[in-house]
């Protein structure tokens, strides 16, 4: 039975990579590179497993991020390519299932191929589930889900229809959403799925958010009482 004091699904909005880099006189993508290093990600993954978290999601690139400087986007995708290649071996070792959440039609084809291969290679694992939101926006996801329902021939969309057609089908709604770097908003992150999520905001930039900070967020979650509208 799941421990009610531990969130089943933790989602992280990893804000502050660029601010962290700027504070050190570095280019914006150096913040992305440091934040997504295998050592840092695996440390968070191992801490999540030790805490009893079953699902952990990272929002890596939003639908609005396409408006950023082209050089930064190019460098970010370069970081992603390197990370996906390196994580394949590590996720298999840790028996971590990987899934992509978001659009695939606008992403570089080689990155889509890498994600598809990683999803297939880890499909049978269940020790822990790791999701990456890439080219993801909550409104975009809802619109795509509604259109899928309508294309099926239905003229009315139920809550169940919508849930079944979201990118997160088969993944439980987040119990705890963490946003780093002091921002206190969701910015369109999982508007449908976050109805009863607990929010945890920290001023720490994501490159400095490690296992200790994750544990602190989960401990705060455990002190809260969740009524789910009852």
Q: Is 175 a catalytic residue?
A: no
Q: Quick one: tokens of 217?
A: 């967020």
Q: Quick one: tokens of 149?
A: 């329902």
For residues 96 and 127, is the Cβ–Cβ distance under 8 A? Answer: yes
Burial class for 209, CB neighbours closer than 10 Å (0-12, 13-18, 19+): buried
- CA dihedral (192, 187, 137, 212) positive or negative: negative
User: Looking at 15, 135, 173, 175, which residue is catalytic?
Assistant: 15
Q: Is 5 a catalytic residue?
A: no
For residues 6 and 169, is the Cβ–Cβ distance under 8 A? Answer: no
User: Looking at 3, 5, 17, 65, which residue is catalytic?
Assistant: 65
Question: Quick one: DSSP state of residue 160?
Answer: H
For residues 17 and 75, is the Cβ–Cβ distance under 8 A? Answer: no
Task: Enumerate residues 6+ apart whose C-beta is below 8 A from 230.
Answer: none
How far lies 126's CA from each of 50, 91, 97, 98, 122, in Å?
14, 11, 6, 10, 9
Question: Tokens 């009610």 label which residue?
Answer: 4
d(CA 19, CA 39): 21
Strands 96-101 and 128-136 turn out to be: parallel
Rounded to the nearest angstrom, the gap between the alpha carbon of residue 142 and the centroid of all alpha carbons in its chain is 17
Catalytic residues: 15, 65
């Amino acid at each position: 039975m799941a421990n009610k004091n531990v969130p089943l699904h933790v989602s992280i909005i990893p804000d502050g990579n660029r601010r962290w880099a700027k504070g050190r006189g570095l280019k914006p993508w150096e913040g992305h590179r440091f934040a997504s290093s295998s050592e840092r990600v695996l440390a968070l993954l191992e801490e999540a497993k030790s805490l009893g978290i079953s699902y952990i999601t990272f929002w890596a690139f939003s639908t609005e991020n396409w408006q950023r400087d082209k050089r930064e986007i190019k460098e970010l995708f370069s970081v992603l390519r390197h990370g996906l290649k390196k994580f394949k071996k590590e996720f298999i070792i840790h028996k971590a299932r990987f899934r992509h959440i978001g659009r695939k039609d606008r992403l570089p084809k080689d990155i889509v191929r890498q994600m598809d291969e990683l999803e297939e290679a880890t499909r049978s694992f269940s020790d822990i589930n790791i999701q990456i939101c890439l080219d993801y926006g909550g409104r975009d996801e809802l619109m795509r889900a509604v259109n899928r329902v309508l294309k099926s021939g239905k003229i009315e969309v139920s809550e169940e229809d919508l849930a079944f057609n979201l990118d997160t089908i088969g993944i439980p709604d987040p119990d705890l959403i963490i946003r780093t770097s002091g921002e206190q908003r969701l910015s369109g992150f999982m508007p449908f799925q976050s109805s009863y999520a607990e929010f945890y905001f920290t001023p720490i930039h994501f490159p400095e958010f490690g296992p200790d900070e994750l544990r602190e967020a989960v401990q705060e979650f455990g002190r809260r009482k969740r009524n789910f509208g009852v």
